Homo-oligomer: A and B are copies of this chain.
Amino acid sequence: MLNRFFNNAVPMNGFACKPPQSVTPNDFTFSGLNKPGDTANPAGFKVTLVTVDQIPGLNTQGLSMGRLDFGPGGVNAPHIHPRASEMLIVMEGSLEVGFVTTLPETKLITKVLQAGEAFVFPQALTHYQRNVGKGPAVAISALDSQNPGTQRVVAAVLGSNPKLPVEVVAKALQADNNVAAQLLSKFK
């Protein structure tokens, strides 16, 4: 953030804040979003998020952006951003996107997007994207927080460190303890 009142870099909102005399263009820049993310992983998906961590000048500006790369069949598994809404534009390929509403409806709102189509994921609701085209898919997303955070909801239940109690997981899955234990043990 620009603040002419600081003589030194003091914490503002937890991050250092430079006086305007000493800010440089690099404090507001990030490079490399033209490179495809490496999708050679089990999910077939890679995200590059640019937050206040990468661009100090985002401090107090309430924004971040990201690049999402999907191999064929790649999935950005259901997740939330606890401190942000998200909006996404498909740049290349064909993405199925969806989010789920709160109780009592738990309604799935889903759509297949082609390049040039935008979609909104309301604040902190579970959402996903999947490449349903034959080639790679790429999207650019925007989030209304400089520090949105990400939580994959199944990983939060099956893959936390340490693990959740098997009985809690079983009730969540509406399954018995054996099923829950097996899923828990296999999840990395």
Contacts and interface: CB of A to CB of B under 8 A. Distances in A.
A181 interface: no
Interface in A1-23: 1-6, 10-15, 17, 20-21, 23
B150 A118 contact: no
Interface of A: 1-6, 10-15, 17, 20-21, 23-26, 28-35, 42-43, 50, 52-53, 55, 57-58, 61-65, 67, 73, 75, 77-78, 80, 82-83, 85-87, 89, 91, 96, 98, 100-111, 113-126, 128, 130, 140, 142-144, 147, 149-165, 167-168, 171-175, 179, 183, 186-188
A115 B32 CA distance: 8
**Stoichiometry (number of copies):** 6
Contacts of A28: 109, 111, 119-121
B31 A116 contact: yes
Contacts of A83: 123-124
A53 to B, nearest CB: 5
A89 B65 contact: yes
Given A77-B171, A106-B155, A154-B157, A122 B42 contact: no
Nearest to A100: B156
A125 B2 CA distance: 11
Contacts of A151: 100-103, 106, 125-126
Given A5-B147, A82-B124, A91-B140, 19 more contacts: A2-B101, A5-B53, A6-B14, A11-B12, A25-B109, A25-B111, A28-B120, A33-B89, A34-B114, A43-B171, A62-B144, A78-B153, A78-B168, A87-B142, A102-B151, A108-B164, A130-B165, A153-B154, A154-B173
Contacts of A118: 29-31, 33, 50, 55, 65
